[in-house]
Amino acid sequence: MTRAEVGSRIVDLSHPIVTGMPVYPGDPEVATEPATTLAADGFAVTALQLGSHSGTHVDAPSHSIAGGAAIDEIDPARLMGAARILRVAATDGEAIGVDGLDDQLRAWDGERIALVHTGWDAHWGTDRMLRHPAVSVELADALLALGVDVLGVDTLSPDSSEPGEDDSADGPAFLPVHDRWLGAGGLIIENLRGLDEVPGETCELIALPLRLQRLDGSPVRAIARC
């Protein structure tokens, strides 16, 4: 997709940041409260409590890779550009492989950004949120082979968020796609919403993180221009 082919319609792909919003199990809760008010102080400032992976956010390699790049070391241009949407019909807990995606993968035309649309954003804040489909390592490898270096999902994670047989209650989480993707220097955007509102299969994505020094991720305002 060239800039000449991008339209002027904007689709907001971000969940709002709000007190008590859903978070990944174990992540800091989100809270906002007035620090100053117009009535008392003449200006309004709000105190924010949130994690670096709250809401729609990007994972830097340092999120799961020792010695990986931090979020402020990422060139923002990597999170701006032509994206292709993989439309996937998946059920609770399903591992999304390459079967049935042959035509969509063959249509790849040099896009560096892949957005996996499962529709699971409809379950944001519900009991089914944690039972989302997961990207398989097989699919991750297929996308890496196509030259993709930014993977976006409309779920809590490209990996399963439910404990599995490879997880230990006392050990680190089993995150094979994180390890493969971030280990290759790629970036992961989680908790996208509204991909069903994007017409067609391509768009321009803009998802800029805050310049948080030496941190492992950041919330983003993700938009699609189409």
Could you read off the pLDDT of 96-111 as tens digits, one per residue?
999 999 999 999 999 9
Whole-angstrom distance, CA of residue 134 vs CA of residue 145: 19
Which secondary structure element, helix H or strand E, spans residue 40, and what is its range?
helix 38-41
What is the domain partition of the chain in residue ranges? Answer: 3-14+52-225
Options 63, 117, 123, 132, the catalytic residue: 63
Percent helix, strand, coil in the chain (nearest 5)? 25, 25, 50
Q: What pLDDT, on a 0 to 100 scale, did the predictor assign at position 8?
A: 83
Whole-angstrom distance, CA of residue 189 vs CA of residue 36: 33
Active site includes 63?
yes
Q: What pLDDT, on a 0 to 100 scale, did the predictor assign at position 163?
A: 79
Q: Fold for domain 3-14+52-225?
A: Glucose Oxidase; domain 1 (3.50.30)
Q: Can you give the pTM of this predicted structure?
A: 0.94
The SS3 call for residue 181 is: helix
Strand partners, 115: 85, 152
Token pair 């996208």 is found at 192
